[in-house]
């Protein structure tokens, strides 16, 4: 096992990793930007090193500064968290060449799955059902029209290097397809430094179902069931739960086997997530693989009893996964609400600023993963996630009750958050019945004359 690990991240995930390390008896080194000097990850780590100015490009994405910090602190490994450098194969290679273990998949895994087109064709070859769509990058209007004609409208244009719900456009006819193509390419270039786009059939009335897998360096792999992430706004997740009401044991076994088959085909190592779309007739289609720990990993931890961050660290240090698929028994129900510093009443506008007063929820069945405290200044430089409120109970109905209680106890002022959104969601009859699709939030917001 490692004796010292550097955490190349900030916010709640940096704290989550520090906590896992502490329980494993590993010393921790935090890195921080100038505006994060007073952050909890800096306070909780054994050592902390400033790596640059506030913009991510100068700090959390600054590879030379992070590698120098790792060398100065003499760490054996780096945990990248999610976002920033977590899915950057180049960074993982540099770590390797400096004899520092990257806690995550191999650079090859990241490279193959990081390009969504390559991932689609690899998974197709491995026998996974994929969403009908283009088999190569779309370079011209003619190619786009031809693909749309062969699969039928609606279609979705997606960035090959995409992520975070950005750069996607749904098109319902030739006219919108042509006008969206160029904007999608420009957006992809601006956001991901790569203008490549491809086209897929847009599946309406769909659920986002993802399977968590764990794989060691010796080819042993297990899956830890699914997360239902259908509660999204503008393709970005707002709430996740495990298990999904839409998945029975038989379907879980089938999708789980597919996820493992896909991961084995690329010799995957570490924690990873295979995302699928599930249609109304229980057909599922591979969408993409995320080669990192996900924001929503806690719901899987709650129902499986497996600590995913510790598992990543153990796997990276060369330990074997001792669990077998039959050992994984999912128990109870868990929900995660993303509490973002966004004004729900005002079209989810960012609401950065200083937290003057704060009361965190607690009690049975509540877990709060957060880095905020009274007096903490939410910086406009980074993402708006301020806390993850996770509930756990024997049944979904009870987990919803626990979540309602937790949300009503949660007090943050004066910044605005998504708590009122989640409270409204927790009372919605369709959400209570579990009858949701990825369109649900848009429809719910329309009901009261809201946005969209």
Choose the stretch contacting ligand ADP; rule: CB under 6 A; options: 165-173, 255-263, 313-321, 427-435. 165-173
Considering only 70, 112, 131, 313, the residue that binds ligand ADP (CB under 6 A) is 131
Considering only 9, 33, 185, 206, the residue that binds ligand ADP (CB under 6 A) is 206
- The residues annotated as belonging to the active site are 292
Q: Find the shortest distance in angstroms from Cβ 135 to ligand ADP.
A: 15
What H or E segment, with its residue span, contains residue 358? strand 357-359
Considering only 111, 208, 371, 388, the residue that binds ligand ADP (CB under 6 A) is 208
Cβ proximity to ligand ADP: between 111 and 201 the closer is: 201
Considering only 86, 94, 156, 160, the residue that binds ligand ADP (CB under 6 A) is 156
- From 368, 371, 367, 369, select the one nearest 382 (Cα to Cα): 371
Q: Is residue 226 classed exposed, middle or buried when 0-12, 13-18 and 19+ CB atoms within 10 A define those classes?
A: buried
Residues 128, 129, 131, 133, CA torsion sign: positive
Q: What are phi and psi of 278, to 5 degrees?
A: -120, 120
Choose the stretch contacting ligand ADP; rule: CB under 6 A; options: 95-103, 162-170, 190-198, 405-413. 162-170
Cβ proximity to ligand ADP: between 100 and 203 the closer is: 203
233 binds ligand ADP (CB under 6 A): no
Cβ proximity to ligand ADP: between 87 and 216 the closer is: 87
Choose the stretch contacting ligand ADP; rule: CB under 6 A; options: 143-151, 159-167, 305-313, 318-326. 159-167
Cα-Cα-Cα-Cα dihedral of 259, 261, 267, 273, to 10°?
Answer: 0
277 binds ligand ADP (CB under 6 A): yes
Q: Find the shortest distance in angstroms from Cβ 156 to ligand ADP.
A: 5
Considering only 78, 203, 378, 393, the residue that binds ligand ADP (CB under 6 A) is 203
Distances (CA, A) of 272 to 297, 317, 397: 10, 17, 29
Judged by DSSP in three states, 234 sits in coil
Cβ(340)–Cβ(385) under 8 Å? yes
Distances (CA, A) of 168 to 115, 165, 194, 238: 15, 7, 14, 18
- From 92, 125, 129, 84, select the one nearest 110 (Cα to Cα): 92
CB atoms < 10 A from the CB of 79, how many? 30
Q: Find the shortest distance in angstroms from Cβ 351 to ligand ADP.
A: 23
The residues in 287-326 that bind ligand ADP, with binding defined as CB under 6 A, are: 287-288
The residues in 170-199 that bind ligand ADP, with binding defined as CB under 6 A, are: none
Size (the chain), residues:
452
152 binds ligand ADP (CB under 6 A): no
Cβ proximity to ligand ADP: between 63 and 151 the closer is: 151
Considering only 19, 22, 235, 310, the residue that binds ligand ADP (CB under 6 A) is 235
What is the DSSP secondary-structure string of 109-132? Answer: HHHHHHSHHHHHHHHHHTT--B-S
Residues that bind ligand ADP (CB under 6 A): 131, 156, 162-166, 168, 200-203, 206, 208, 232, 235, 275, 277, 287-288, 438
């Amino acid at each position: 096992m490692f004796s010292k690990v550097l955490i190349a991240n900030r916010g709640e995930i940096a704290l989550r990793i520090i906590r896992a390390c502490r329980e494993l008896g590993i010393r921790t080194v935090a890195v921080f930007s100038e505006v994060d000097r007073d952050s909890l990850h800096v306070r909780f780590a054994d050592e902390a090193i400033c790596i640059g100015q506030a913009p991510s490009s100068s700090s959390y994405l600054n590879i030379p500064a992070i590698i120098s910090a790792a060398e100065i602190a003499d760490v054996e490994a780096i945990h990248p968290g999610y976002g920033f450098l977590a899915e950057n194969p180049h960074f993982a290679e540099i770590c390797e060449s400096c004899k520092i273990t990257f806690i995550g998949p191999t650079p090859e895994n990241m490279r193959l799955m990081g390009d969504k087109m390559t991932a689609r064709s690899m998974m197709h070859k491995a026998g996974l059902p994929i969403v009908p769509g283009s088999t190569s990058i779309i370079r011209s209007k003619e190619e786009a029209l031809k693909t749309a004609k062969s699969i039928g409208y609606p279609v979705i244009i997606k960035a090959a290097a995409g992520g975070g719900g950005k750069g996607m456009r749904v098109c319902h006819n030739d006219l919108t397809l042509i006008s969206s193509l160029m904007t999608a390419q420009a957006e992809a270039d601006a956001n991901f430094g790569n203008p490549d786009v491809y086209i897929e059939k847009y599946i309406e009335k769909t659920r986002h179902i993802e399977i968590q897998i764990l794989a060691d360096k010796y080819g042993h792999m297990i899956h830890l069931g699914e997360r239902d992430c259908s509660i999204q706004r503008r393709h970005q997740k707002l709430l996740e739960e495990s298990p999904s009401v839409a998945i029975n044991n038989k379907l879980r076994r089938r999708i789980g086997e597919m996820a493992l088959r896909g991961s084995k085909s690329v010799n995957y190592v570490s924690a990873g997530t295979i995302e699928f779309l599930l249609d109304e007739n229980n057909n599922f289609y591979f969408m993409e693989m995320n080669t990192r720990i996900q924001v929503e990993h806690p719901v899987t931890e709650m129902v499986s009893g497996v600590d995913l961050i510790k598992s990543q660290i153990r796997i990276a240090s060369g330990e074997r996964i001792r669990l077998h698929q039959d050992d994984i028994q999912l128990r109870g129900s868990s929900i995660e609400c993303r509490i973002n510093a966004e004004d729900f009443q005002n079209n989810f506008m960012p609401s950065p600023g200083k937290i003057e007063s704060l009361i965190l929820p607690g009690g049975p069945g509540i877990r709060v993963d957060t880095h905020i405290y009274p007096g903490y200044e939410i910086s406009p430089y980074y993402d708006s996630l301020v806390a993850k409120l996770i509930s756990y109970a024997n049944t979904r109905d009870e987990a919803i009750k626990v979540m309602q209680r937790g949300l009503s106890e949660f007090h943050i002022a004066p910044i605005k958050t998504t708590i009122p959104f989640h409270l409204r969601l927790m009372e919605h009859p369709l959400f209570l019945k579990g009858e949701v699709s990825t369109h649900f939030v848009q429809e719910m917001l329309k009901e009261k004359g809201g946005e969209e």
